[in-house]
Amino acid sequence: MAKGALSLSRLLADEYSGRILSLTFSQPRSVQEICYLSGIPIAVAYRRITALEASGLVKCLRTDVASSGKKCKYYMCQVDVARLTFRDGRFEVEVEWRDHGSKEMLCIPQ
């Protein structure tokens, strides 16, 4: 699911990504809702959502279409637990995924 340990660790450590993951943990939210609740600028939120979705950390659960034709996507956090550890001289990222309860361990290249 994840692209790589280094990019995943950067996303998990990012303040805006953390806010997005927190806001979408218990219920799906649109980017507009996320921005309203968190104060994240809209352009930044769209960039983070794109990166989070590419890494599998969030998932688009549904897309609503208004009568005007405008689409609104709703995203949900896919992570149950994420850990960054330093063990035996190297950093590791461990992610427990919500949908299938699996764990993934990735080592950050030195």
User: At 29, which CATH number?
Assistant: 1.10.10.10
> What 3-state class would DSSP assign to 76?
strand
Burial of 100 from C-beta contacts in 10 A (0-12 / 13-18 / 19+): exposed
pLDDT of residue 101: 62
**What is the C-alpha to C-alpha distance for residues 90 and 73, in angstroms, rounded to an integer?**
38
The answer to whether position 99 is within a domain reads no
The answer to whether position 73 is within a domain reads yes
The answer to whether position 83 is within a domain reads no
Q: Which residues span the domain enclosing 41?
A: 5-78
The answer to whether position 37 is within a domain reads yes
pLDDT of residue 63: 95
Higher-pLDDT residue of 35 and 93 is 35
Q: What is the pLDDT of residues 30-81, one digit of tens each?
A: 999 999 999 999 999 999 999 999 999 999 999 999 889 999 999 999 999 8
Most confident of 4-8, 12-16, 24-28, 68-72: 24-28
The answer to whether position 39 is within a domain reads yes
The answer to whether position 23 is within a domain reads yes
The answer to whether position 88 is within a domain reads no
pLDDT of residue 2: 40
pLDDT of residue 84: 83
What is the domain count for the chain? 1
**What is the C-alpha to C-alpha distance for residues 106 and 94, in angstroms, rounded to an integer?**
6
The answer to whether position 10 is within a domain reads yes
